[in-house]
Amino acid sequence: MGYLIKETFRTISRSRSEFFLSTAVQGVCLLVLALFGVLTLNVLIVLRTAVQRAQVFAFVTDEVALSPLPLQEKVANIAGVMEVRFVSKEEAFEELRADLGTDTSLLNALGENPLPASLRISLQPSYTTPEQVQALEQKLLLLPGVTEVWSGKELLSQLNRALRTVLLLDVIVLIIVAISVLFIVFQTTENSITSRAQEIEIMELVGASRATVRTPFLLEGTLQGALGGIMAFLLLFVIYRVVVSFIPPPLFPTLLLFGIIFSLGALLGLSGALLALERLPSTLRVVPVRVSKKSRVGTGIG
Amino acid sequence: MSSNITSSITPIVELTGVFKYYQGDWPALTDINLTVYQGDFLFLLGATGAGKTTLLRLLYRQELPDLGEIKVLGYDLTMMKEKEIPLLRRRVGIIFQDFRLLPERTVYENLEFVLQMVRVQKDTIPARIQETLNQLGLVHKKNAFPYELSGGEQQKVSIARALVKSPDIILADEPTGNIDPKASEDILNILKDINYQGTTVIMATHDALLAERTRRRRVTLDAGRIIRDEG
């Protein structure tokens, strides 16, 4: 194996400019993927948090507001409800005052507190689809004492749509990058095979096994992929350091990202080399033109 | 191994009813029946296109016959699996007319390459190479690149490459075809020496006079058929 590794580096050094150029292109492809990955991760977290924090407001009559506990218990027993909190008229008014801050002109214009008491209902994470929220809304409206329900399901629906779009974009980028990297490694390995045709033939004629002949190419492809991955990660890290000087630091799981980009690069490199090796001309695979002796005799040749 | 004088009667190569066609039905070899015994030195004679190279290529399984049976060193070449081919080739030394040395490697590295490929124990490699280079008088050229050598020297390196893995049989395809008469004589003497030490040698050549002088078995091919087997 030591000699095969030496052979791999000998091949690389023989065509180092092509090798490093291919590695650089591969690194850029993987960087695009990594950037999308980090961006998606952060968008996903923001969107998921927003969805999970979504609350349903059930406004109640003044009678219920005097004794909200029975209704509160009924609502808490509905499937998908995680937590129910009663907010009195006064508390709602205070919240509004806090939201408006120093601008008290609106509150002064209102005069009397017009805000109704309500139940603020937090949903379980698995119950945040627009359909589930719609169903909950209908159940709440059937309860005596509930005058109106606001669920923000349009907003939820938009958030969920955004989540799906981001994931779809990710899959598309992943496919494009994977094909690009495979193609680059395929091309590099194929060139390497062509330039070493004589060496390969001699290897086989002196008795090298198929595995011995193929190993240096597989090592070269994997190494190229892995180096591309390392390059992509380093560039990504530089971009991250620049970005955090302008905006609050996004989520950046360094080790996990390195592991994924490195492994993906190596795996794609290995796969590209394997594909190219399918076209390796081999003296070990000779297929005869089988003909019957009878037919030969019939032609008068035999 | 036994020497040529005490040649054993073990068949090392057996071809039975071998036919080989190229491009559909052009007959390269027709009904070849040939047995070569351990320790033999055999010349394959014939003009260009007579089928000598095709016959040799069949023996190291670079070609398959369209009909017939071939046995080399106990392997049935028409039935053998792909993974067995390297095992056969490790026991066969091949010498080409155009040398086929690796141009970017020194003489030493060309030989080392072979031993590494056939997985010879690493610590024995330098000694084996040294011994082979000694035998062929190439020690002083061990760090030279092929382009720094004459044709005759390159062919000696090619023989060294075949010999370094201690093969049971050497197949030489026109080894004197690209070199001058003096160097040809040297190459032939080296092959005879190798044969005296017990290695079977099959040498293809169009030089009938060279073969006659050595008084060894001569098999003559013409248009893919054996027309003479003498000596």
pLDDT digits (tens, 9 = 90+) for A283-292: 666 555 444 4
Q: Residue B8 has what pLDDT?
A: 54
Give pLDDT tens digits for A172-198.
Answer: 888 888 888 888 878 877 887 888 788
Distance CA B156, CA B227 (A): 31
Q: Which of A190-199, B30-39, B196-205 has the lowest mean pLDDT?
A: A190-199
The per-residue pLDDT for B162 is 92
Encode pLDDT of B88-130 as tens digits.
Answer: 999 999 998 888 898 888 999 999 989 988 888 889 999 999 9
How would you list the strands of the sheet with B217-222, edge to edge?
A: B92-95, B169-173, B200-205, B41-45, B217-222, B225-230
Residue, of B43 and A98, whose pLDDT is higher: B43
How many Å apart are CA A160 and CA A162, to the nearest integer? 5
Interface of B with A in 118-157 (CB under 8 A): 118-119, 122
pTM above 0.90, yes or no: no
pLDDT at B133: 94
Candidates A203, A284, A299; nearest CB to B82: A284
* Cβ contact A301–B86 (<8 Å): no
Q: Name residues whose C-beta falls within 8 Å of residue A104's C-beta, 6 or more positions apart in sequence.
A: A97
Candidates B82, B110, B117: best to mutate against A (most CBs of A within 10 A) is B117
Spatial separation of the C-alpha atoms in residues B38 and A90, rounded to whole Å: 110
Whether residues B116 and A3 touch (CB distance < 8 A) is answered with yes
Count of CB pairs separated by less than 8 Å, A with B = 84
* Beta carbons within 8 Å of A242's beta carbon, 6+ residues apart: none
Please tell me the least confidently modeled range out of A146-160, A203-217, B87-101, B113-127: A146-160
- Phi-psi region at A85: left, alpha or beta (left = phi > 0; alpha = psi -120 to 50): beta
Contact between A134 and A154 under an 8 Å Cβ cutoff? The reply is no
Q: Which two tokens stand for residue A300?
A: 């008068």
Residues in B closer than 8 angstroms to A212, CB to CB, are: 117, 119
How many other C-beta atoms can be found within 10 angstroms of the C-beta atom of residue B22?
14
Per the CB < 8 A criterion, the answer to whether A269 and A221 are in contact is yes
Spell out which residues of chain A touch residue B30, defining contact as CB-CB under 8 Å: 301-302
Q: Within a 10 A sphere around the Cβ of B174, how many other Cβ atoms?
A: 20
> CB contact, 8 Å: B65 with chain A?
yes
List B residues 164-183 in contact with A (Cβ-Cβ < 8 A): 165
The CA–CA distances, whole Å, from A287 to A58, A209, A284, B22, B68 equal 79, 18, 9, 12, 15
Choose the closest CB to A202 out of B67, B85, B102.
B102
The Cα–Cα gap between A275 and A272 comes to 5
Of the candidates B24, B89, B91, the beta carbon closest to that of A205 is on: B89
pLDDT band at B164 (very low <50, low <70, confident <90, very high): very high
Look up residue A125 and give its DSSP letter: G
Asked whether the predicted pLDDT for residue A88 surpasses 80, the reply is: yes
Q: Are A218 and A273 in contact (CB under 8 A)?
A: yes
Among chain B residues, CA nearest to A211: B83
Tell me: pLDDT of B33 over 90. yes
B62 to chain A: closest CA residue? A283
The token duo for A256 is 């996990």
Whether B64 sits inside 8 A of A299 (CB atoms) is: no
> Tell me, what's the pLDDT at B26?
82
List the structure tokens of A242.
């620049």
Confidence of residue B219 (pLDDT cuts 50, 70, 90): very high
Interface test with A, best of B72, B116, B132 (most A CBs within 10 A): B116
Q: Residue A285: what pLDDT?
A: 63
ipTM > 0.90 (yes/no) = no
Q: How far apart are CA A20 and CA A26, in angstroms?
A: 10
Asked whether the beta carbons of residue B161 and residue A284 sit closer than 8 angstroms, the reply is no
Diameter of chain A measured on Cα atoms: 117
Is residue B180 pLDDT above 70, yes or no? Answer: yes
A60-74 tens-digit pLDDT: 998 888 888 999 899
In Å, what is the CA distance from B103 to each residue of A106, B139, B175? 90, 18, 18
Indicate the residue of B62, B83, B161 with minimum beta-carbon distance to A286: B62
